[in-house]
Structure 1
Amino acid sequence: MYMPQAFEQKDPDLVFGLMSSLGVATAVSNGPEGMIASHVPVEIDREGGAKGIIRCHFAKPNLQPALIAEGAEVLFIFQGPLAYVTPAWYPTKAETGKVVPTLNFAVVHAYGTGRAVEDPIAMRRHLTALTDHFEAEFPEPWKVSDAPDEYIDRMMKGITVVEVSLTRLEGKWKLSQNRSEGDRRGVTEGYRTEGRADMQALMEDFALGGRQG
């Protein structure tokens, strides 16, 4: 990923935090006819392996997990908040007119190699972790144990679980850090006006003298 120094995010807490909060990623790897990509739910195990582990699952007919299990490198793309920046938000527009539109965003690229998980107990543990993550926001969370065991066992036969040991992580928080303070404040106010509280918070944290990448 192209990485200007001003946008590089090195804080592992923030990088893993974004990955964990999303719970989904795009898995990209080489296939027999070129690049192949799948959109998968992911379980993040920050303490596993040397640099962390990602567990995910694919529909059984999908060819990608077999390729990953054979040692093909896989890239997981975690797309966090993303929003347009209009030049109208920059004070520089009125001063010089030398401005153009852009996008601001937070994204993580996670690389690694994997293996297939065939142990039914490990598979169920993975599905339980995913379910607990996504159900946490509900007042009465559904649990895997709420369904009959034989039904869950039958459903597991339709998926392939993959465990990927991470080898490299890249975090990019592009939040107008290369603009003047006045322009950064203009963008922050623009997001506030547009109701983009997520982008406003990121701007306040990383582009207005708060946290650093």
Structure 2
Amino acid sequence: MYIPPHFAETRAEELQRIIRAHPLGTLVTHTRSGLDANHIPFEFDPAQGEHGLLTAHVARANDVWQRCATGTPVMVIFRGADAYISPNWYPSKHEAHRQVPTWNYEVVHAYGNLTVRDDDRFVRGMVARLTRRHEANEPRPWKMGDSSPEFIDSLLRNIVGIEIAVTSMVGKSKLSQNKDARDRHTAADTLDARGQNEMARSMHNAG
């Protein structure tokens, strides 16, 4: 990934924030069959290992877990907020007419080694944790106990767990840091007024 120095994101807390806020990752693998990508919701534990641990599950019918033996190097892409930026939003454009359109975004590339976890205890615990997290804001959170044990057991038999011990993370936050502060903040205010609050907040905090 091309990262100009002013767009490099190296703060661990920011990389972790992007992953937590946007847990649907793109698992990129390269095997004898070639390149492949799978879109999977991940759970991230930053306390496990030097750079954290990613856990997820895939359908048993998805042969990615068979094509990628334990220890296979992989990459997971987490894309955060993104937004189109019009040059008309920059005050300086109307003075010098030297601005062009661009696209701002936040992204994290997590690199690591995959481990296949095809055991009931791991899969059951991982699904329970994912469910608790994503149901937490519901008025009446769904839980696995809402369904019969036989039904849940049949579903769990059809998925396989994976772990990725993260060895490194690379982040890029393209937030108009290369623009004057008034241009960046005015563009952020425009996004905020249009409901793109997450990108607006990140742009206000950049610099």
**TM bracket, shorter-chain basis:** over 0.9
Go from structure 1 to structure 2 and tell me whether the alpha carbon gap of 1:37 and 1:85 turns closer, same or farther (over 3 Å shift): same
2:50 aligned partner: 50
Amino acid at match of 1:55: T
| TM-score calculated relative to the size of structure 2 | 0.93
- The total of aligned residue pairs comes to 207
Equivalent residues of 2:57, 2:123 under 8 A apart: no
Shift of 1:125: 0.6
Aligned-partner Cα distance in 1 for 2:156–2:195: 41
Q: 2:146 is matched with which residue?
A: 146
Q: Which moved more, 1:59-68 or 1:84-93?
A: 59-68
Spell out the pairing of 1:128-207 with structure 2 (5 A cutoff).
Answer: 128-207=128-207
Alignment partner, residue 127 of structure 1: 127
Q: Which letter maps to 1:12?
A: A
**RMSD of Structure 2 on Structure 1 (CA):** 1.5
Mapped to 2, the partners of 1:194 and 1:123 lie a distance apart of 41
Q: Tell me how far apart the structure 1 counterparts of residues 179 and 144 of structure 2 sit (CA, whole Å).
A: 48
User: In structure 1, what is the Cα distance between the partners aligned to 2:134 and 2:73?
Assistant: 27
* Match of residue 83 from structure 1: 83
Q: State the AA in 2 paired with 1:44.
A: F
How far apart are residue 145 of structure 1 and its match? 2.5
Shift of 1:5: 1.5
Query: Hey, what does 2:69 align to over in structure 1?
Result: 69
- How far apart in 2 are the matches of 1:41 and 1:176? 29
1:7 alignment partner AA? F
TM-score (norm 1): 0.91
Alignment gaps of 5+ in structure 1: 208-213
Letter in 1 for 2:121: I
Task: State the 1:95 CA deviation.
Answer: 2.4
**Cross-structure match for 2:21:** 21
Deviation of the 1:79 alpha carbon: 0.9
Shift of 1:135: 0.4
Contact map agreement 2:114 2:165 (CA 8 A) in 1: yes
Identical pairs, percent: 34
How big is each residue's C-alpha offset from its partner over 1:141-167, in whole Å with a ceiling of 9 and x where there is no partner? 111222222222211111111111001
Matched residue SS, 1:182 = helix
How far does residue 197 in structure 1 lie from its aligned partner after superposition?
A: 1.5
The whole-number CA distance in structure 1 between the counterparts of 2:135 and 2:68 is: 28
Moved more, 128-137 or 186-195: 186-195
User: Aligned with 1:66: secondary structure?
Assistant: helix
The gaps in structure 2 that reach 5 residues or longer are none
Please give the per-residue CA displacement for 1:77-128, whole angstroms capped at 9, x wherever unaligned. Answer: 1111100000111122222222211111111111111111122111111001
